[in-house]
Amino acid sequence: MRWRIWRRAPAAVRHRCPSTEMAPLTSPDLTARRPMDCPETLRIALFGTSADPPHRGHAAILAWLATQFDHVAVWTANNPFKAHQTDLGDRFRMLELLIDELDVAPRRVQVHPELSHMRTVVTLERARQIWPNAQFSLVVGADLVEQLPTWHRAEEIFAAVDILVIPRPGYDLTEAGLADLRQHTSVTVAAMPAIDVSSSRYRQWCRPTFLNTTSTHVRKTPPNP
């Protein structure tokens, strides 16, 4: 059975929490869930990235998101359109090390391996199970704006989340360019400068032996308690 994403409430009532109990988490139909009592709706940024490897650009994005949201859920996943060189588990550990160095409130930014999936729609289904009452913003790079409408079950994604676009060098974000995407969902451009760094360029600059050594170090570094 294919699960469906619980659709967002209209904007006028999105922050209200009805005084009803939530259906069991084992329910296969997320549209049937009833929100449980809650003092307010959490605003959660969902940030999936290949992170192969993580770099200062990721750190800057996460630090900025931490100032805008109640919680930032980050994960890494294999992109079917990219050839990855680093083990997925190593990338998760590198993300954790990067987050440990951020100057943000404790647990404001956290790695969530359980959200990792090649299909964003599956990630959103899992996120809704964890945070039934949250208001989600899906964080994407400017390079993905034109691709979003072609994603698997894109209309379900648009019905479930707002889109937050992170500027990237070489990708102009104009009102005209965003108009098509705004026909599907709410779209906001992050008020932060474009950071001229990428994982692919990092891999090109660094020798494979260096990346292999980094992965070995990550495996040997014990996780924080």
| Residue 39: per-residue pLDDT | 47
Residue 210 pLDDT exceeds 60: no
What is the spatial distance between Cα 17 and Cα 111, in angstroms, rounded to a whole number? 27
More confident residue, 47 or 28: 47
Q: Give the mean pLDDT of 109-137.
A: 96
Band of residue 25 on the pLDDT scale cut at 50, 70, 90 = very low
Overall fold of domain 21-220: Rossmann fold (3.40.50)
Residue 162 pLDDT exceeds 70: yes
Mean pLDDT over each residue of the chain, to the nearest integer: 77
Residue 127 pLDDT exceeds 80: yes
Residue 225 pLDDT exceeds 60: no
What is the spatial distance between Cα 125 and Cα 131, in angstroms, rounded to a whole number? 10
| Residue 31: per-residue pLDDT | 33
Beta strands in the chain (DSSP E): 43-49, 71-76, 109-111, 135-141, 162-166, 187-189
Residue 207 pLDDT exceeds 90: no
What is the spatial distance between Cα 139 and Cα 187, in angstroms, rounded to a whole number? 10
| Angle (CA) 125 134 66, round 5° | 105
More confident residue, 53 or 123: 123
Q: Give the mean pLDDT of 147-159.
A: 95
Band of residue 1 on the pLDDT scale cut at 50, 70, 90 = very low
